[in-house]
Structure 1
Amino acid sequence: MSQNGLFDFTTLFIIFNLVLLALAAGQDTSGRGDINKSGENYISSSPLLRF
């Protein structure tokens, strides 16, 4: 039971890190502003990223 819970936590943590890396890469490569605004709207509207 404990191993399953730990596995679920590690997989969610890895997925969360991959999402953050993807958002960071999108913001770094976007120089037009539209992609940045859509990314900011997505981050502000996402309940998962609110702490």
Structure 2
Amino acid sequence: MVVQRESNNPVWGWANPNEKITITTSWGAKSEGIAKVDSTWKMKLKTPNRSSL
């Protein structure tokens, strides 16, 4: 996936209810969350600026 730098990018999907979701990016950021009862989840990924890549 390609995301815009210097922004908060929404990422979402489906999983089993109450399942732990972990997103690890190529620049070393990590986001964790839990799927809702309806199996959906949504997180925002903060991307670095060009100078920190």
TM norm. shorter chain > 0.5:
no
Larger radius of gyration: 1
The structure richer in helix per residue is: 1
The structure richer in strand per residue is: 2
Higher RCO (CA < 8 A, seq sep 6+): 2
Per the normalisation by structure 1, the TM-score is 0.21
Per the normalisation by structure 2, the TM-score is 0.21
